[in-house]
């Protein structure tokens, strides 16, 4: 075979591949074999998977090879969703992975309990779906942000908190006979200092009523039982 013939064959092969790449998706979209028959919803703890599927608003004849941009946008727009991803799984499955907002507190609204996120916003989740107890709080962004930091950095402290509320510029954490008072914009360093002081008092068996952490570089402990 001459070099010219080889070149012609190579050109023909490229043309065939290009044509297949162009027309194959169109053929697949029309084929019932590639019509979406299953939607996997992954990562949900608080949302109802069936409600997630409903909010995707997929047409009955959608194909697994159709563009997924609109599906991704619909998933990202679901209230309570922080991030989303959509994958195709041939021949007929879409996999939707969601990252939900984390509830940090419960609040009373219109005579019912609702969940709050770390910004103090109401989440569209059913409180009954939350596997652990959460403190009661007000829909306040500063208090919710502090709660989120405590949840991440000191789960034991977070688990003991029963109620969080504002007192002017202060945020109060109530846990049984104990109260911790901080400024609304308390720094992570202040929260770490509270954790250290709580641990010290617990190890020494010291009874205390309040830790006042409103002042820079110092904490005050009011000893005694409530």
Q: Are residues 35 and 137 in the same domain?
A: no
Q: Are residues 176 and 154 in the same domain?
A: yes
CATH number where 209 lies? 3.40.50
Q: Are residues 109 and 95 in the same domain?
A: no
When pLDDT is averaged across residues 193-209 and rounded to a whole number, the result is: 94
Q: Are residues 171 and 78 in the same domain?
A: no
Q: Are residues 125 and 154 in the same domain?
A: yes
Q: Which domain covers residue 41, as residue numbers?
A: 31-100
Q: Are residues 35 and 84 in the same domain?
A: yes
When pLDDT is averaged across residues 53-59 and rounded to a whole number, the result is: 92
Count Cβ neighbours within 10 Å for each residue of 175-210 and write b for 16 or more, e otherwise: beebbbbbbbebeeebbebbeebbeebeeeeeebeb
More confident residue, 199 or 111: 199
Q: Does residue 110 fall inside a structural domain?
A: yes
Q: Rounded to two decimals, what is the model's pTM?
A: 0.76
Smallest CA-to-CA distance from 95 within 40, 52, 45 is with 40
Q: Are residues 140 and 193 in the same domain?
A: yes
Q: Are residues 129 and 216 in the same domain?
A: yes
By the 10 Å C-beta count (0-12 exposed, 13-18 middle, 19+ buried), 148 is classed as buried
Q: Does residue 2 fall inside a structural domain?
A: no
Q: Are residues 214 and 113 in the same domain?
A: yes
Q: Are residues 164 and 128 in the same domain?
A: yes
Q: Does residue 41 fall inside a structural domain?
A: yes
Whole-number mean pLDDT of the chain? 85
Per residue in 95-138, pLDDT (tens digit) is 999 999 999 999 988 888 999 999 999 999 988 888 778 999 98
User: Considering its fold, how many domains does the chain have in total?
Assistant: 2
Q: Does residue 10 fall inside a structural domain?
A: no
Q: Does residue 127 fall inside a structural domain?
A: yes
CATH number where 69 lies? 3.10.20.310
């Amino acid at each position: 075979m001459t070099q010219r013939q080889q070149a012609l064959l190579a050109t023909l092969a490229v043309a065939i591949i290009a044509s297949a790449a162009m027309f194959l998706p169109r053929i697949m979209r029309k084929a019932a074999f590639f019509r979406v028959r299953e939607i996997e919803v992954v990562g949900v703890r608080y949302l109802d998977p069936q409600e997630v599927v409903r909010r995707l608003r997929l047409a009955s004849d959608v194909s697994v090879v159709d563009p997924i941009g609109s599906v991704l946008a619909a998933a990202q727009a679901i209230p309570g969703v922080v991030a989303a991803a959509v994958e195709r799984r041939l021949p007929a499955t879409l996999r939707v992975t969601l990252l939900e907002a984390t509830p940090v507190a419960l609040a009373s609204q219109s005579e019912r309990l609702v969940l709050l996120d770390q910004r103090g916003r109401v989440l569209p989740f059913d409180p009954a779906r939350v596997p652990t107890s959460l403190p009661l709080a007000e829909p306040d962004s500063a208090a919710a942000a502090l709660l989120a930091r405590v949840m991440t950095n000191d789960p034991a402290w977070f688990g003991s908190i029963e109620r969080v509320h504002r007192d002017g510029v202060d945020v109060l954490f109530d846990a049984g006979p104990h109260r911790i008072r901080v400024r609304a914009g308390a720094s992570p360093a202040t929260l770490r200092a509270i954790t250290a002081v709580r641990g010290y008092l617990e190890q020494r068996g010291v009874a205390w009523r309040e830790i006042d952490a409103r002042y820079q570089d110092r904490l005050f402990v009011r000893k005694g039982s409530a």
